[in-house]
Amino acid sequence: MALSLVTPQPRPADAAEKRLGARIAPSIAYWFAAPSILLLVATLLLPILVVVALSFTDYELGALGLSFLGFENYAALADDATFWRSLKNTAYYTVLVVPGSVLLALLLAVLISGLSRGRRFYQIAFFLPVTSTLIAMATVWKYLLHGAIGPVNHLLVFLGFPALEFFGNPDLVMPALAIIGIWQLVGFNMVLFIAGLTAIPADLYEAAAVDGMDRPWERFFTVTLPLLGPTTMFVVVTSSITAFKVFDTVAVLTRGAPQGASDVLLYVTYLEGFQYFRIGPAAAMTVIFLGIIMVLSLLQARIIERRVHY
Amino acid sequence: MPPLTLALRRLGLTPRELATHAVLLLAAFAVLFPFYWMVLTAVRPSQEVFSAGFSWLPETFVGLDNLRTALDQAPLLRFMLNGAIVCAGILVVQLLTAIPCAYALAKYEFRGRDLLFALTLFGLCVPIQVPALPLYIALAFTGLLDSYFALMLPFFLSVFAIFLFRQVFKSFPDEIIHAARLDGLSEMEILWRIVVPSAGPAIAAFAVFSITAHWNDLYWPLIVVTSKELAPPPLGMMYFADNETGANFGALMAAATLLTAPLMIIFLFAQRHFIRGVTMTGVK
């Protein structure tokens, strides 16, 4: 379907004149778009169709043939405890990371926007984790949160709390990973909030002041927060998508341990597909993953649309 | 007026602003602490890490010894070179393919344009993990696994770049294009010599974005690369951490510092572009 774009189609010349003020051979547009269309089909559209097709088969890498299974892979997943655990853990991670990274980012953005100097310094400081190599920093975090020698535990003990074995305790491993996730995401969200805050017209604050609202929190709840509504929704959905894709920290730090408490969807899919080469089930998991991401993306698209009319 | 308040006034600081600074400095300290700890551990002997207390400065300063150990144990410079090659290759192809496509979408009428744009928007939502299996199988069958090409292939197309540049090109005045055309410039020349230079800031923002994403990517290299000589930084870091059975934290942190540094330096120089890029993705 998309390939038909490459073939030049005859079309009325006035369409070209309307836009360009000159007669341009329509084939130029196709030549300009052709490399991207080729890549779009070869590295995106076709693979998606193939992954959906493979999810209905018992294909294994290296096997000579494959047979059509219908929905068997999906039915098997429905009975698979590891799969459900990975879904649950991913959802749990998302539920921890999203409020943490959004509320902190909002707080930081409001505080920074109220400053008369030093704004750039704070922006850079909080944004630095976004650009950091997560694998390297995950290794740092592993020792920061280490049960015996980690500075975080030194602090906890100093404050009179018991030391915690973050990566050894099934109840603490997801919160520990979430701390790293929040740390990496908060600066990104903060920048989005600062942009949203900059877009709020100053005369709305003046109007609020005329109405007798001169305390910061009054202004925050009557002016800032309602006008930041669309930005907040957008940041929440974007963060959910990011959190749902958690992989790196699990692959490096925990590999699902302890006792499967940190199995997440992408890690389990990765093991199934690229370690055990059971392509069929891995493809089925990928399709489910894509489905969840698409739902979140549609939500995001609707928010962007709403903002245009806002 | 008390003297302290007066002094603050002269600095342009109200007490409220001073309190804000205090809160933000504390938060910045917490966020930057992992970087501090990484560098600290990289310049002290590893047994200090195991000592019961916490010290802000190394009790024994070992300089670059840990880094030398790390470089002896793993080809860290090779990993960085791989990262540079992969990032550069990806970025060049992304720009060469996305810019003309974005220009066509922004300035030409052609049949299928709306479909192409819709597919671009769709592509924005699809993470690399979705086409990964078929791409891996295709690379396996063509014998192209474990190569620079395999590392770059899924990222040659950047739908994000197409989307971003389309927005930018759309606001380029048609009158200038028209005038250039009357002067006898070809469409190719108009695009690369007139329109693209005007989009400099957006291209810079995208470049920082792209380099960051691919320097830091672990998922795809983990899948397609098996030989150490081809590992980009995150994968190299993973090999290194795995082989470091002696728990040599000093060397590990020196390696982490080295592999993180180039990107940090790029970011510090280009942070305006980067932050602009984030803003363009979301709010605008």
Per-residue pLDDT of chain A (310 residues; tens, 9 = 90+): 233 333 344 444 444 444 554 556 678 899 999 999 999 999 999 999 999 999 999 888 877 778 888 899 999 999 999 999 999 999 999 999 999 999 999 999 999 998 888 889 999 999 999 888 888 899 899 888 987 778 888 888 888 888 888 888 899 999 999 999 999 999 999 999 998 898 888 888 888 888 877 777 788 888 888 888 888 988 999 899 999 999 999 998 999 888 889 999 999 999 999 999 999 999 999 999 999 999 988 888 787 776 544 4
Residue B68 has pLDDT above 60, yes or no: yes
CA A8 to CA A257: how far, in whole Å? Answer: 56
Residue B245 has pLDDT above 60, yes or no: no
Which two three-digit tokens encode residue A14? 């006035």
pLDDT of A181: 96
- Least trusted range by pLDDT, from A108-122, A240-254, B52-66, B200-214: B52-66
Q: CB B235: neighbour CB atoms within 10 A? A: 25
CA A165 to CA B159: how far, in whole Å? Answer: 43
pLDDT of A1: 28
A301 touches chain B (CB under 8 A): yes
One-letter identity of residue A218: E
Residue B239 has pLDDT above 80, yes or no: yes
**A53 exposed, middle or buried (CB, 10 Å; 0-12, 13-18, 19+)?**
middle
- Least trusted range by pLDDT, from A98-102, A214-218, B155-159, B202-206: A214-218
- Return the residue of A nearest to B178 by Cα: A21
- B108 CB neighbours in chain A (<8 A) are 16, 19-20, 24, 26, 28-29, 32
Which 3-state string (H, E, C) describes chain B?
A: CCHHHHHHHHHCCCHHHHHHHHHHHHHHHHHHHHHHHHHHHHCCCCHHHHCCCCCCCCCCCCCCHHHHHHHHHCCHHHHHHHHHHHHHHHHHHHHHHHHHHHHHHHHCCCCCHHHHHHHHHHHHCCCCCCCHHHHHHHHHHCCCCCCHHHHHHHHCCCHHHHHHHHHHHHCCCHHHHHHHHHCCCCHHHHHHHHHHHHCHHHHHHHHHHHHHHHHHCCHHHHHHCCCHHHCCHHHHHHHHHHHCCCCCHHHHHHHHHHHHHHHHHHHHHHHHHHHHHHHHHCCC
B243 touches chain A (CB under 8 A): no
Please give the angle made by the CA atoms of B15, B17 and B21, to the nearest 5 degrees: 115
B153-157 long-range contacts (CB < 8 A, ≥24 apart) are B153/A43, B154/A43, B154/B128, B154/B220, B155/B90, B155/B94, B155/B128, B155/B214, B155/B220, B156/A39, B156/A43, B156/B90, B156/B93, B156/B94, B156/B97, B157/A36, B157/A39, B157/A40, B157/A43, B157/A44, B157/B94, B157/B97, B157/B98, B157/B123
SS3 (DSSP) at A78? helix
Provide the shortest C-alpha distance from residue A256 to chain B (in Å): 16
Task: Using alpha carbons, list the distances in angstroms from residue B151 to A51, B10, B123, B210, B265.
Answer: 20, 56, 19, 14, 24
Q: What is the mean pLDDT of residues B79-97?
A: 97
pLDDT of B193: 94
CA A150 to CA A147: how far, in whole Å? Answer: 6
pLDDT of B166: 93
SS3 (DSSP) at A83? helix
Residues 113-152 of A with CB under 8 A from B: 114-118, 122-129, 131-137, 139-141, 143-144, 149, 151
The pTM of this model reads 0.88
The answer to whether A257 and A181 are in contact (CB under 8 A) is no
ipTM over 0.85: yes
pLDDT of A114: 85
Closest CA to A220 of A233, A231, A210, A205: A205
pLDDT of A14: 46
Task: Using alpha carbons, list the distances in angstroms from residue A50 to A40, A67, B90, B138, B185.
Answer: 14, 14, 24, 11, 43
Residues 204-223 of A with CB under 8 A from B: 216
Using the beta-carbon criterion (under 8 Å), do A111 and B20 form an inter-chain contact? yes
